């Protein structure tokens, strides 16, 4: 196996890995958990406001 063949296989591996990451990230069954993670910032703000004594 020479360098060119290895480079070709490595490029294909990285391409399929990237497609796999995209498929995982944009799958419909992951959307609820990503929406929950996106709203964690706002949950922290509510907790911080509740802990401030006026």
Count each helix (H run) and each strand (E run) in the chain, helices first: 3, 0
pLDDT, residue 13, reads 98
Lookup: tokens for 17: 């890995």
CA gap 25, 34 in Å, rounded: 9
Q: What are the pLDDT digits (tens) for 6-52?
A: 999 999 999 999 999 999 999 989 889 888 988 888 877 656 666 56
pLDDT, residue 49, reads 62
pLDDT, residue 51, reads 59
Cβ pair 30, 24 in contact under 8 A: yes
pLDDT, residue 40, reads 86
Domain spans, the chain: 18-54
């Amino acid at each position: 196996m020479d360098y060119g063949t290895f480079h070709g296989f490595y490029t294909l591996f990285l391409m399929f890995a990237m497609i796999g990451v995209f498929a995982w990230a944009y799958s419909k069954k992951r959307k609820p958990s990503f929406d929950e993670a996106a709203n964690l910032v706002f949950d922290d703000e509510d907790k911080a406001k509740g802990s401030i004594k006026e």
